[in-house]
Amino acid sequence: MDLLADFNAAQIAFAFIAAFGAAFVRGLTGFGMAILLVPVLALALSPVEAVLVVNGMSVLIGLSEIRRLVRGAEASAWWISAACIALTPLGLLALAATGSDLARLIIALIALSAFIAILLPHRGEGKPKAITTAGVGAISGLMTGYAGMPGPPVVPYYVGREMKRETAKASMLLIFTIAGAAGVVSGMAAGLLSWSHTTLSVLLFPATLIGNALGAKASGKISDPVWRTCVAAVLGGAALAALVRLF
């Protein structure tokens, strides 16, 4: 049995290039792989396939650095992850019930929402209220299932506060790893995940690993203000590219 029978050579080559670029951004900013990759892959694959493949990639790259993420993450990351796990299956079921064209539009708009949120004023150093944290986790779960993007509510939650860059990055990446695992398990439970999706995720892992390492190396050479500017630029560029390609 050909484990990649569901994909042609052009789709696989396209996925390799997109995975490397999105992983570089992940290493640089601490997020962005799914926000960049899902809208782009959804143009070559079906939206469900794109979400499942990216969820698998998120798990693999997260596990490669899990010890650092657990050590550096803020406690809130675990609460957000718990809420995310609970709501991810509902998001995936909603995606499976949505037409491909409409799903592509909604995914592009989700990417745009993250850019708008990051432009809001910083909230200072204080921790958000518990209900805010729970809401971020719930929305992140729905977006993980529907768009493979746990980031739109999570990124503003951390980047919008005055906190150490490494703490923000570790917290976000830990959530994204757990969210990806929730997406994979939900896909299996719903009968949507095939061996082709898993194989493609594994096949793309080396490109993801290299891109992430190069991005992380570049991240150590820039200041916090430049990093925050990069965050906003990535979100804006991802949303714009997704909308332009869609229409």
Structure tokens at 115: 């850019």
Identity of the highest mean pLDDT range in 71-75, 87-91, 196-200, 219-223: 71-75
Q: What SS3 class is residue 201? A: helix
User: At residue 47, what is the residue type?
Assistant: P
Query: What is the Cα–Cα distance from 144 to 87, expressed in whole angstroms?
Result: 9
Residues 200 and 12: beta-carbon distance below 8 Å:
yes
What distances in angstroms separate CA 142 from CA 16, 46, 65, 126, one per listed residue? 27, 19, 25, 26
What distances in angstroms separate CA 36 from CA 5, 31, 54, 62, one per listed residue? 25, 9, 10, 17
79: nearest Cα among 145, 142, 132: 132
In this predicted structure, what is the pLDDT of residue 98? 82
Q: What is the mean pLDDT of residues 181-188?
A: 90
Q: Give per-residue pLDDT as tens, 98-156.
A: 877 787 787 777 777 767 766 666 555 567 889 999 999 999 998 888 877 787 788 88
Q: What SS3 class is residue 213? A: helix
Helix segments in 33-164, DSSP class H: 33-44, 47-63, 66-72, 76-96, 100-118, 130-147, 151-159
Q: What is the mean pLDDT of residues 190-217?
A: 88
Q: Give per-residue pLDDT as tens, 35-45.
A: 778 877 777 77
User: At residue 145, what is the residue type?
Assistant: G
DSSP result, 74-103: -THHHHHHHHHHHHHHHHHHHHHTS-HHHH
Structure tokens at 124: 């200072």
In this predicted structure, what is the pLDDT of residue 1? 39
